[in-house]
Amino acid sequence: MTIAKLPRFLLCVLLLAAAAGCGGGKGDAPAGGAQAEARGGGGGQPEEPAVPVAVASAELGSISSYYKATATLEAEKEAQVLARVAGVIAALSAEEGDRVGAGAALLRIDNNEYRLRADQAAASAANLRARFQRLQAMRAEDLATDEEFEAARSELARAEADEGLARLNLSYTEVVAPFGGRVTRRLVSVGQNVSAGTPLFALADFDPLLAKVHVPSREFNKLRQDQDVELVLDSVGQRVQGRITLISPVIDPASGTIKITIEIPSYPEGTRPGDFAQVQIVTERRDGAVLVPRSAVLTDKGETVVYVAAGEGGATAERRVVETGFTDDERTQILTGLAAAERVVVKGQRSLKHGSKLKILDEQAGS
């Protein structure tokens, strides 16, 4: 008889017997129980491993709020040097990039004609001076009239003025720097014919450099002359110090801002006018503030929190809701929720929850 033709009752008995045989004997039960106990610790949840973290202590210190802006660096003095007489450029004494002192020669305009005019004016003045002296002696002996004497004196004064003007124009053929600085542009070449008023050079004084920023008028009472300012140069990423030298006495009605001028006396080699700088002006300073590294502060579920290394040896994470104040590039002020000397987690805290076990790998300086 085939299995298909067995009575239904007998078929059920055979299937139940087969299922019981697959369950194993009584000797298998202890091994199965031992494996379950090894996996689940007797049926409970496995203990979570300690989270490796770095911590730092909250410290008391000073922190400031800043008004931040971007400024373009400018030279303290800038000028175009213009030709004051006409002529042909005979020689150049300076080139772009050269440092020159006040009164240093920049170029020479051919001066032969101007020298001859000066000599001619000097000769004419000398002739009239001699004539005036003769008339002066004759007048003393009543041999010359007052009219002759006064006419001679007037002619001499005019000749001396002509001589002075001729010598002045001669001096203008030697073009000199009006102030010390650096040649930023040379605008003419040797052999070029120039007229009075032609731009010859551009000159700038880089010492010191200036930054001009416009600050909202509401910050006016927080600013003072000679106040220190911090700047970060975009070109090299370096911090430099400046000071406020000028504060405009008026508010720009269009923007509601006040222009302030910042002087930068010292800066890295290669810094030039036209460089950009991030300007940070202190508007308020708080001393004795509780400070932690910025990395310790998180936003979690709409709350500002830190994780404190609490418990014996700081082995347990405590989620602490805090209120923050000022923040700078490295530190954050804690107004409420944390005391000085408490240790906060600064690395690894994103893997934490309240009550997590901690494994402190590094303890950093707080601020």
Cα distances (Å, whole numbers) of residue 359 to 58, 306, 312: 19, 17, 12
CA distance 344 to 341: 9
Mean pLDDT by 10 residues, the chain (367 residues): 47 46 44 43 67 94 90 93 97 95 96 96 95 90 87 94 97 96 95 97 93 88 88 88 93 91 91 91 91 94 94 90 92 95 93 91 72
CA distance 312 to 62: 31
pLDDT at res. 293 = 95
Cα distances (Å, whole numbers) of residue 97 to 187, 200, 256: 13, 15, 39
Rounded to 5 degrees, φ, ψ at 316 are -125, 140
Burial 31-43 (b: 16+ CB within 10 A, else e): eeeeeeeeeeeee
Residue 58's contacts (CB-CB under 8 Å, 6 or more residues apart) are 290, 291, 292, 334, 338, 339, 340, 341, 342, 343, 344, 366, 367
Q: Is 58 within 8 Å of 339 (Cβ atoms)?
A: yes
pLDDT at res. 47 = 75
The dihedral built from the CA positions of residue 270, 272, 276 and 282, taken in this order, carries a sign that is: positive
CA distance 27 to 342: 58
pLDDT at res. 41 = 46
pLDDT at res. 139 = 86
pLDDT at res. 44 = 56
Beta 343-347 vs 331-336: how paired, if at all? Answer: unpaired
CA distance 120 to 169: 13
Q: What is the pTM of this model?
A: 0.60
pLDDT at res. 217 = 86
A 10 A CB-CB count for 182 gives 20
Q: Is 51 within 8 Å of 361 (Cβ atoms)?
A: no
Q: Is 94 within 8 Å of 183 (Cβ atoms)?
A: yes
Domains along the chain with CATH numbers: 51-63+287-364 (2.40.420.20), 67-75+205-285 (2.40.30.170), 111-172 (1.10.287.470)
Nearest to 175 by CA among 113, 91, 79: 91
CA distance 46 to 56: 30
